[in-house]
Amino acid sequence: MKTPYQTVLTIAGSDSGGCAGIQADIKSISACGAYAASVITATTAQNTQGVTDIHAIPVDHLEKQLEAVFSDIEFDAIKIGMLHSCEVINAIASKLSTYKAKNIVLDPVMVATSGDKLITDEAIDCLKQFLPKATVITPNRKEAEILVGHAIDKDNCEVTAREIGTQFKTSVVLKGGHLDPTTNDMLDILYEYKTDQLFVIKNPLIDTNNTHGTGCSLSSSIATFLGKGDQLEEAVRKACQYVNQSIAKGKDKALGRGNGPINHFGLK
């Protein structure tokens, strides 16, 4: 008697340095106990110090990747990373609808750590139209500020998470980060759209530069726990704890000359 894998599909870009993107997603999904499949939207020339080139996968090949996996494998959850054009967004939205995809976790990657926009204003407008199709979205503070059009701080982060969820009709994990300098907490805010509930998730702040790929790892681990049957609040809490522990396990590791990755598997 054969038993099926619990499966998660990641649709995202490739990071040649292995810290973020598809590579971080596959590591996170595997570490959290599911089988990872992937559809690549773009390849990057990237290392711990930054991105030097991006090559977008042609949309017709992207569609063929999606058709190949969806026609053969039933997925328990979907993680989606950076969507760099309206054509890509529309192609993915169409396949998700055709195959009735469930447990969709969207990381709306729009802004680099430097604060620079990574996608065009046109793509941002298309992305906003796509957000209601997601089960939950996971913007960081800068991305959330683009979505709502105002600054976010420790005093309004909870209200803003609800504002985003209400506006785009989806649940939200607002990755607040270290918003309050008077505490040693990392703060994430979950707004659950269906129940109109807010949850504040705190984990200890870890002093390290090895945080490259944390956003990818969080969204893909949320997708994994949802796919394994957890309710949204439980899935988000488990994912935040997993990422925090992976940061702790990697804080003293060395890789490259820039910002290193988290330690997904607790490697020695």
Q: What is the pLDDT of residue 241?
A: 98
CA–centroid distance for 165 within its chain: 16
**C-alpha–C-alpha distance, residues 189 and 110, integer Å:** 19
Could you tell me if residue 86 is inside a domain? yes
Query: 28: which DSSP letter?
Result: H
Could you tell me if residue 255 is inside a domain? no
Tell me: pLDDT of 114 over 60: no
Instruction: Examine the residue annotation and report whether 13 is marked as an active-site residue of this protein.
Output: no
The mean pLDDT value of the chain amounts to 95
> Which is the catalytic residue, given 18, 213, 250, 260?
213
Could you tell me if residue 230 is inside a domain? yes
Query: 228: which DSSP letter?
Result: T
Contact of 229 with 20, CB cutoff 8 Å:
no
**C-alpha–C-alpha distance, residues 67 and 94, integer Å:** 11
> Which is the catalytic residue, given 175, 176, 224, 260?
175
Tell me: pLDDT of 103 over 70: yes
**C-alpha–C-alpha distance, residues 117 and 147, integer Å:** 13
Could you tell me if residue 98 is inside a domain? yes
**C-alpha–C-alpha distance, residues 17 and 20, integer Å:** 8
**Structurally, how many domains does the chain consist of?**
1
Question: Where do the H-state alpha helices sit in the chain?
Answer: 21-31, 59-70, 86-98, 121-130, 141-148, 157-168, 214-227, 232-250
Q: For residue 93, give its domain range.
A: 7-250
> Which is the catalytic residue, given 32, 86, 216, 240?
216
Instruction: Examine the residue annotation and report whether 213 is marked as an active-site residue of this protein.
Output: yes
Instruction: Examine the residue annotation and report whether 81 is marked as an active-site residue of this protein.
Output: no
Could you tell me if residue 20 is inside a domain? yes
**Tokens, residue 212:** 């490259």
Once rounded to an integer, what is the mean pLDDT over residues 103-113?
Answer: 87
Instruction: Examine the residue annotation and report whether 175 is marked as an active-site residue of this protein.
Output: yes
Q: DSSP string covering 132-196, please?
A: GGSSEE--BHHHHHHHHSS---TTTHHHHHHHHHHHHTSEEEEEEES--TTS-EEEEEEEETTTT
Could you tell me if residue 176 is inside a domain? yes
Identity of residue 176: G
Q: What is the pLDDT of residue 16?
A: 96
Instruction: Examine the residue annotation and report whether 214 is marked as an active-site residue of this protein.
Output: yes
Closest CA to 176 of 197, 196, 149, 205: 205
Instruction: Examine the residue annotation and report whether 211 is marked as an active-site residue of this protein.
Output: yes
pLDDT digits (tens, 9 = 90+) for 174-223: 998 888 888 899 999 999 999 999 999 999 999 999 999 999 999 999 99
Closest CA to 214 of 252, 146, 260, 147: 260
**Tokens, residue 4:** 């099926």
User: Domain with 160 in it: what CATH number?
Assistant: 3.40.1190.20
> Which is the catalytic residue, given 7, 10, 138, 214?
214
Closest CA to 173 of 193, 155, 156, 151: 193
Could you tell me if residue 90 is inside a domain? yes
pLDDT digits (tens, 9 = 90+) for 137-148: 999 999 999 999
Long-range contacts of 252-258 (CB under 8 A, 24+ apart): 252/208, 253/210, 255/19, 255/48, 255/210, 256/17, 256/47, 256/48, 256/49, 257/48, 257/49, 258/47, 258/48, 258/49, 258/50, 258/212
Could you tell me if residue 265 is inside a domain? no
The model's confidence at residue 19, banded by pLDDT at 50, 70 and 90, is very high
Q: For tokens 């680099």, what's the residue?
A: 112
CB atoms within 10 A of CB 132: 12
> Which is the catalytic residue, given 21, 81, 165, 215?
215
